[in-house]
Amino acid sequence: MTAPSSHTAPPGFDIDRLIGDPRTRIIVCCGSGGVGKTTAAAALGLRAAEQGRNVVVLTVDPARRLAQSMGLSSLDNTPRVVAGTDDAAGGSMHAMMLDMKRTFDEIVEAHADPDRAAQILANPFYQSLSSSFSGTQEYMAMEKLGQLRRADEWDLIVVDTPPSRSALDFLDAPQRLGRFLDGRLIRLLMAPARAGGRAYMRVLSAGFGMVAGVLTKVLGAQILRDVQTFVSALDTMFGGFRERAEHTYQLLQTPGTAFVVIAAPEPDALREASYFVERLANERMPLAGLIVNRVHRSAASRLSAARSLAAAENVDDARYPLAAAVLRLHADRMQVQARERRLAEHFTSAHPDVPVVEVPALPEDVHDLDSLRVVGDCLATAAG
């Protein structure tokens, strides 16, 4: 065995083996915003479906035209058949868009009696929590994933994670919401209502006095009353939230789950990918590989940037405008390619075991099934 050099090529990421393996039941597509997560999720789902698997793709916030290409026109939490999928191999493709408020409402309805559920759903604080709290989308995406998995109607679920600032939010936000709904402070807020005279409760109540005082100052009294009503109405469901979040979290650690990290060949996106890969390892969550999306590659790499540029300077622009333009263009492309390679090598030297596949930048945006198939083909052939 030779020691790996710093530029050892990463192992190829064999997409077809991943989606073709019947043991793969969940694929989670993660990455920072703007790298093409939704497109990758849709392309993987379509390819798997056309190879014979029964697939559902759960998207969170797709671009309008991409959603339309999958026949999705509204956030309605209902998996719909994607028309135009080739079912010759016996597979099928469904897609759905997450309705986070609806998902939250359903959890409430499932866990509280009708009266109490109605009370919770009407609470102003609940309404803002369920439609705009920053971790709610991630929590509900996880919840929906858990529901789809338990329903067991599909043999492969592909999840597109919410468009967070950081890929880590998908893992952290649900627990944050769970902790919040379940936590110490909420109990503190409820304490005056049920302080049974035990000594430590009196201490807590004193603490509560200060906390409530400050919160009232900052937020006004109404919001605190809303929170307290919400909290007491939700009392029966306590524990439920954290438990549910933990349950889905564990689902992500099972062997049937595969994480696919998506990045663009840019320093920020690859840095995010790097954090995420390390985090997955810490959490013992199964990473399948990295997709580097929208890379620029040249088929004429034997002609270097330097030589190309020198030749462009030499040639008489007026007599040979085509060659001059082509040479400058090529030099530019070689520079971009070199930079992207350096960035990818940087990632691989930190994570030498992570399989990598590159998808070339396509001239046009992806918004129909044919271009999704092209992306799928690129994913599969590039690994070879």
Partner 1 sequence: MSGRDTDWDGVRLHVVTGKGGTGKTTVAAALALALAARGRKVLLIEVEGRQGIAQLFDCPPLPYAERKVAVAPGSPGLPGGDVYALAADPEDALLEYLEIFYNLRRAGRALTRLGVVDFATTIAPGLRDVLLTGKATEAVRRREGGGSRRHVYDAVVMDAPPTGRIGKFLNVTAEVAGLAKVGPVRSHADSVQNVIRSPQTAVHFVTVLEEMPVQETLDGTADLREHGLQIGGIMINMVRPPMLRPAELAAAARGTVDLDELTIGLKAAGIEEGREVAGDLAVELTDHARRTVLERRERRRLAAVGQPRYDLPLIPDGVDLGGLYQLATTLREQGAA
Residues 278-297 that bind partner 1 (CB under 8 A): none
C-alpha dist (Å) from residue 282 to 277, 278, 301: 9, 6, 39
CB 27 within 8 A of CB 18: yes
Q: Which stretch binds partner 1 (CB under 8 A): 95-103, 150-158, 206-214, 275-283?
A: 206-214
Which stretch in 85-93, 147-155, 209-217, 233-241 sits in contact with partner 1 by CB under 8 A?
Answer: 209-217
Provide Rg for the chain, Cα atoms.
26
HEC profile for 89-103?
A: CCCEEEEEECCHHHH
192: contact with partner 1 by CB under 8 A: no
Q: Which is nearer to partner 1, 40 or 49 (CB)?
A: 40
Quick one: which segment of 29-37, 95-103, 194-202, 250-258 binds partner 1 (CB under 8 A)?
29-37
The C-alpha angle 322, 327, 328, rounded to 5 degrees, equals 105
Reading across the β-sheet that carries 26-30, which strands appear in turn?
Answer: 80-81, 92-97, 54-59, 156-160, 26-30, 257-263, 287-295, 356-360
Quick check: 374 binds partner 1 (CB under 8 A)? no
Q: How many residues bind partner 1 (CB under 8 A)?
A: 73
In the complex, the smallest distance separating the C-beta of residue 299 from partner 1, rounded to whole angstroms, is 4
Q: Is 268 in the site for partner 1 (CB under 8 A)?
A: yes
Taking residue 74's Cβ as centre, other Cβ atoms within 10 Å add up to 9
User: CA nearest 274: which of 164, 348, 383?
Assistant: 348
Which residue matches tokens 């070199």? 338
Span 311-370, contacts to partner 1 by CB under 8 A? 311-312, 314-316, 319-330, 332-333, 335-336, 339, 363-365
As measured in angstroms, the least distance from the Cβ of 4 to partner 1 is 26
Closest to partner 1 by CB, 8 vs 132, is 132
Asked if residue 63 binds partner 1 (CB under 8 A), the reply is yes
The least distance separating partner 1 from the CB of residue 120, rounded to whole angstroms, comes to 15
Q: Does 185 bind partner 1 (CB under 8 A)?
A: yes
Restricted to residues 146-175, the positions that interact with partner 1 (CB under 8 A) are: 163, 165-166
Determine whether 369 is exposed, middle or buried from the number of CB atoms within 10 Å of its CB (0-12, 13-18, 19+): buried
Q: In the set 20, 52, 71, 183, which binds partner 1 (CB under 8 A)?
A: 183
Among 2, 88, 196, 217, binds partner 1 (CB under 8 A): 217
Give the residue from 171, 361, 149, 174 showing the smallest Cα distance to 261. Answer: 171
- How far apart CA 125 and CA 231 sit, in angstroms, is 10
